[in-house]
Amino acid sequence: MTVSEYSGIRPEDLRIETLGSARITSPLAPLLDARRTTEHYVDSDDRVLLDDTAAGVAARGGSLDDLPGFEPCGPRREIYFDPSKTRAGIVTCGGLCPGLNDVVAGLVHTLTYHYGVRRIVGFQNGYRGFVSAYGHDVVDLTPETVRDIPVDGGTFLGTSRGHQDPEEIVDCLEQMHLGVLFVIGGDGTLRGAMEIARVVRDRGLRIAVVGIPKTIDNDIPFIDQSFGFQTAFSQASEAIRSVTVEAKSTPGGVGLVKLMGRHSGFIACYASLVRSDADAVLIPEVPFELDGETGLLHHLQRRVEQRGHAVVVVAEGAGQERLEAAGGTDASGNAKLADVGPWLKERIGESFSGAGLETTVRYVDPSYLIRSVPANPYDSVYTVRLAQAAVHAAMSGRTAMVVGRVRRRFVHIPMDLAVSRRNQVDPHGDLWMAVLESTGQPWRFGEDSGAPTRAPHT
């Protein structure tokens, strides 16, 4: 994000809503006192500054108090909820993502072991689990019931997409005497959580609603990376490796891999950098042309002529401007995308045939395989730390917020800010430049970027 994109955010935009004063001594207070003088101590009045460059700070002017900053995550000495009288709920919503079970287990462990919360319930199949018409029972969650779930992919609680009445959801929270609700999901899920928090506020209830943002596409603004992203691009790189082997094994072979990324091409970019096998990477942020001397198809023909094969990585949202719109929306309210993979496969085959060139196009779409795998060790650790941060925030009475990591610091982010925009690959940024250097492709297919050319990698 550039200085200009930061400039509209004010200190008050990053302020976190609370349910009231924290007057209860935390069970963690002795541990905090023991490390009081260490660098790990969390000062509730401290801030993680939004601007991370001298230019950004200078552009704002004014005093230190005028600089916007995030509230840091971490345990407080005084908390809002009495753990012995508090019940907590957990729900997972939206598409699958590596690490969902790790988050659930992390929440349960921290609530139980560190705070002594005596009842934790899981709602099954997303927001449907709150609605009586669907007839889903709640699941009592204990350290024993969640002990082994991180080794499995998917979500132990089940999930669903689609809107449910926030009034009915809050009715359920009241009936079950829940004081805390943890919501794990993407932007649609968090918008639903914002509505739940609004109804709670309108009714004058004391229920904390805290989110752990989930998006495999890594498109949540501000935060460094979303959980599951590292697992996803690692798995995606294996798909690229496999299709490269296939392409090398056939005369004039072309490998084509379609990866996740409706609006943001982070998975395609990172996966293509793992082994540098790709000759072209197509992402939603950079439109492309197929035909002509500077188009994608001519680029692929040259690569096949030069080294016998070529590999293309395409994000699912790329090229939508060139395809006939699918029309309608899915259960989450997202516009349905036209399927770029089969279309691109057909066009590549036609272009080679028209040029009198032999080719075989090997097409792979590993999306569901990637979504369903367990988290890798990095993401497992990351999810546990996010879960711990979410529990500390909720028990201290914070609400209508999510937890995330900004420049390696865990912070609280207001929910409305977390869904205010999508994080996207900057076509003029260093990540896209790294992809261009790795693939040797032009900045944009279909125009002369003026960029120097280089010999294709082997």
- Domain layout of the chain by residue ranges: 3-226+375-418, 229-372+426-439
Q: State residue 64's pLDDT score.
A: 80
Burial (Cβ within 10 Å: 0-12, 13-18, ≥19) of residue 454:
exposed
- The predicted model scores a pTM of 0.91
Burial (Cβ within 10 Å: 0-12, 13-18, ≥19) of residue 176:
middle
Q: Mind telling me the catalytic residues?
A: 217
Q: Tell me which residue of 373, 358, 260 sits closest to 308, measured CA to CA.
A: 358
Q: State residue 156's pLDDT score.
A: 96
Cβ pair 335, 188 in contact under 8 A:
no
- What's the CATH architecture for 229-372+426-439? 3-Layer(aba) Sandwich (3.40)
Query: Which helix or strand (DSSP H or E) is residue 292 part of?
Result: none
User: CA-CA distance, 314 to 341, in Å (whole number)?
Assistant: 8
Domain 3-226+375-418 identical in fold to domain 229-372+426-439: yes
User: CA-CA distance, 17 to 206, in Å (whole number)?
Assistant: 12
Q: What distances in angstroms separate CA 348 from CA 70, 213, 242, 392, one per listed residue?
A: 48, 38, 19, 53
Q: State residue 405's pLDDT score.
A: 96
Q: State residue 188's pLDDT score.
A: 93
Q: State residue 449's pLDDT score.
A: 47
Strand-pairing partners, residue 410, are: 405
Q: State residue 451's pLDDT score.
A: 43
What is the pLDDT tens value at each position of the chain, 458 positions in all?
454 466 789 899 999 999 999 999 999 888 777 655 443 446 777 888 888 777 777 777 777 878 899 999 999 999 999 999 999 999 999 999 999 999 999 999 999 999 999 999 999 999 999 999 998 899 999 999 999 999 999 999 999 988 899 999 999 999 999 999 999 999 999 999 999 999 999 999 999 999 999 999 999 999 999 999 999 999 999 999 999 999 999 999 999 999 999 999 999 999 999 988 999 999 999 999 999 999 999 999 999 999 999 999 999 999 998 888 766 766 666 778 999 999 999 999 999 999 999 999 999 999 999 999 999 999 999 999 999 999 999 999 999 999 999 988 999 999 999 999 999 999 999 999 999 999 999 999 987 644 434 334 43
Name the CATH code of domain 3-226+375-418 (choices 3.30.70.580, 3.30.2320.20, 3.40.50.450, 3.40.470.10): 3.40.50.450
User: CA-CA distance, 157 to 273, in Å (whole number)?
Assistant: 34
